Structure 1
């Protein structure tokens, strides 16, 4: 029986689509202003490529014909990250082989992309982007001293970016930013001591700066991922030193964090989580068998999760998640042959 998560939906594989290509690393999946999905990936020639769902009247009409399109003059070294701004336009960020941070932007909603623009030099870590409470994009990355740096759009015209600014810390891997319900951004990192650390804006939008990094918990074996529960409190997922999936949730004061809870399982990479339409988080991991496994939050905002269920989807790397126009979850994985696969929730 296929895993059942959101009521009325399951993961029976009947709608799976092989998007082809030979992609490297994790892909970035994001929504256009009308919630059609766009995916970005690095190909084997280190170019930034994309595919997108087209419109067919008021409904989705399938993926664009002609396969992947290449964004001109792009050379990327790792996985891209993409975010849709409050103005409805998509921004994509990536690290180059020369350790520079570059970006492209849609000049118009639903449009193509501008010429690439360099934002920073001396960027050995992969970027991660999210929105401030006022809709300005912020991007975080590891600097050459293994500290955290960030840049954000300077004004609410959503155009130019501030110069690089340090947040401190001594980290490994990729930062994980998230916006909590009190309007403040937090960024989560794995320190070189193997523990989970967090820094938080002093006020929404960072108008009075950021607090210093503080330890959240011990025993973090990989880069974390961060999302929010239905009540908009942040929940962080990570691989523990026992190779199980773990989570920790923000307390009611929007500041401190509770006791870490094990979701069990034996995993090889950080968990990925997304909020389903019934208000519960769905968690996806890659097991030691190379397949994707799924766990569901038992009730909205709860620390209790179901036992991981097997899907049979073979994955060669990390997992990207996004909602479709009807709010169903879509999973994107790189198959063992390098092809990109789309796996949407199916109606029962």
Structure 2
């Protein structure tokens, strides 16, 4: 629970706090004229909607005092109230992705909190508003509407009147005369205490002040501005209304408290010249200041569209006068790239008064605030902030005492995202997930993720194929692995560059859960490894060459940067004694590596130099966790290097014959022979192999087709995987032919001397392969 039901003392802003705030304001005033726009507006992502339509006047959808919304009694404790939104007033009945609402309470009988959510959905843990007994307070929230067109609002304690107004809505498709969001550098554009953007002096009861918000990066012609509006100096409770300059109709935007600075992030509808008129509807004079964060464009081809996503992403104590970085992008399904801003609700409570700031790490700390909080009273406010390239926002506790800081995500605004092409004939991923079953997975030439469930390890005809991606489109080779609970997971790259994941509904099952968007914005498909703790970790590379890890553990998993080494493609990962060894290829073709430990820490990066390679290297793990790498040189030949006893790699990569490959190399330690086998597709499209001549020799024999008498061409690079069948430990080669059929070459040994092949008699124990065609995949 965000708040506890207990008596809270009345509060007044300390003299020292006013002095500090005044100093901050003077700095902001001096710099205000130098603030420039954040940059040109961007078109919304691929016509996916999320454009904002501001409503003026705001549309009342619930007022329990007057019966608006069909409810005319004040909700009691632990009560849920539902009310219609879609089709009410100027809110359309269809085409609405989410609504921006003002939620207010008046004189609750007990300290309480409210949650607003789609009717018909489970009530989330997130909170929209905190209120102390007897207060009149409001906050703004972005919320989806239920499939039935209604919202639900939960009141935790006491009896209170509730008011909900729709200030605007976000569309499900682009078009019309409205556009998206454009963040700007945070700046204070109005402050009645110091004459910033208006005349100096209080706003009397019933009086209005018209201000020009076409400043601080907001252009003339913007349809609306998103700003934090703060009221101070009131000696009685009241409320504030706003309207575009020249309009005769006003909308309530903020409820304020006596003796307490009250702040809320909200939308101000602007006139064509950028002006708005704000009116003090209380019985006492007030001071007012406005900090601009972003604006909305009036055209459907500009700005970033909203993608509603909810979840609590941070809940920790923060020390006095301390800033913390909060991971937002790269978690909860958000990408790391293309995020114009996140919509987050900031909550604070501490034993001293103060305020919160939120901004982009790596930029100058702004002199403006988003949330004001009195001592021992809970406060929250909506804000829009652009994350940094690592997906973080920075939040400062500007008070003299520790606070509880809660950050709750309500959505994000999408910049343009390129659509990746679907890779043709991507390789197959395969894993033996139990003593009885094998799982296959690949992305076909249409972009579908196809899963193959082999119900019997010794019967390739038992494979059942299923398209598990619906109409979603993916690309490249999926990553596959077995989770700690025994369920297999597939992770694949969506064509918008995010990484998605799905898991079996149960161990050995042929059915799958729905897909989860893990975000990420990666340049290539991921690799997967499992730590000794059982935690599955995904590794992927972004467009700038940075390596990221997604450990699927904790309350809010997220993509974590492991450093920028100018990498390209999918990394190779193998489990080692203390974690996972990761190998990536940089843009110059040099292999680089680091170790990801079981506790999440990482080693320093090291180079595996000496040769230029293409594609993802193949890695073989020997006893003692000594590693051998194989890679394709630019001339198509295969090179290899063995880790030395000290854990380093020599600079010399040895050739593995003069065979020329067509694609990436696969390699495995043959469990029966104890000799390394290397597999690749040749320029003739046949699958070829080479064996180590003796255990640990590092010398390899000549290359030959895996099955000499079977001239079967492959359309994909091969995949190798260890399997244990009724005949013992072995391994398989898996590929797809040009007809789309999946083929398996199972490694066998000649049982007796004299077994023949097209090239002559075989000695006992000679490795051979038998071929199997899996049942036809879906069409």
- Residue 242 (str. 1) matches residue 674 (str. 2): no
The answer to whether the 8 Å contact 1:51/1:64 transfers is no
Mapping for residues 117-266 of structure 1, pairs under 5 Å: 117-154=516-553, 161-180=557-576, 182-201=577-596, 204-257=597-650, 259-264=652-657, 265-266=659-660
Residue 271 of structure 1 corresponds to 665
Cα deviations by residue, 1:165-218 (Å, 9 ceiling, x for unpaired): 2332102221111223x32322111111122211223xx314433323434333
SS of structure 1 residue aligned to 2:477: coil
The answer to whether the 8 Å contact 1:120/1:164 transfers is no
The answer to whether the 8 Å contact 2:437/2:508 transfers is no
Residue 288 of structure 1 corresponds to 683
Distance of 2:435 and 2:588 partners within structure 1: 43
The answer to whether the 8 Å contact 1:230/1:275 transfers is no
The answer to whether the 8 Å contact 1:190/1:196 transfers is yes
- TM-score, reference length from structure 1: 0.83
Which one has a bigger Cα radius of gyration? 2
Query: Residues 150 and 237 from structure 1, CA distance in 2 versus in 1: closer, same or farther, beyond 3 angstroms?
Result: same
Distance of 1:251 and 1:325 partners within structure 2: 30
Q: Give the drift of 1:38.
A: 1.4
Residue 449 of structure 2 corresponds to 48
Gap runs ≥5 in structure 1: 1-22
Count of residue pairs brought into register by the alignment: 316
Residue 315 of structure 1 corresponds to 714
Distance of 1:198 and 1:100 partners within structure 2: 24
Distance of 1:252 and 1:213 partners within structure 2: 16
Q: Give the drift of 1:325.
A: 2.6
Residue 88 of structure 1 corresponds to 486
Distance of 1:344 and 1:314 partners within structure 2: 17
Query: Residues 169 and 218 from structure 1, CA distance in 2 versus in 1: closer, same or farther, beyond 3 angstroms?
Result: same
List, as ranges, runs of 4+ consecutive aligned residues in structure 1 with deviation greater than 6 Å: none
Query: Residues 313 and 185 from structure 1, CA distance in 2 versus in 1: closer, same or farther, beyond 3 angstroms?
Result: same
Q: Give the drift of 1:154.
A: 2.3
Cα deviations by residue, 1:213-269 (Å, 9 ceiling, x for unpaired): 434333213321222124431111100133211111111123444632110211121
Cα deviations by residue, 1:29-66 (Å, 9 ceiling, x for unpaired): 111222522111112331111222223xxx7344336x
Residue 465 of structure 2 corresponds to 68
**Bigger shift: residues 279-288 or 302-311:** 302-311
Gap runs ≥5 in structure 2: 1-423, 751-779
Distance of 1:231 and 1:209 partners within structure 2: 20
SS of structure 1 residue aligned to 2:458: strand
With CA pairs under 8 Å and 6+ residues apart, which has the higher RCO, 1 or 2? 1
Q: Give the drift of 1:286.
A: 1.1
Distance of 2:648 and 2:589 partners within structure 1: 22
Distance of 2:484 and 2:644 partners within structure 1: 28
Q: Give the drift of 1:345.
A: 2.0
The answer to whether the 8 Å contact 2:436/2:455 transfers is no
Query: Residues 190 and 62 from structure 1, CA distance in 2 versus in 1: closer, same or farther, beyond 3 angstroms?
Result: closer
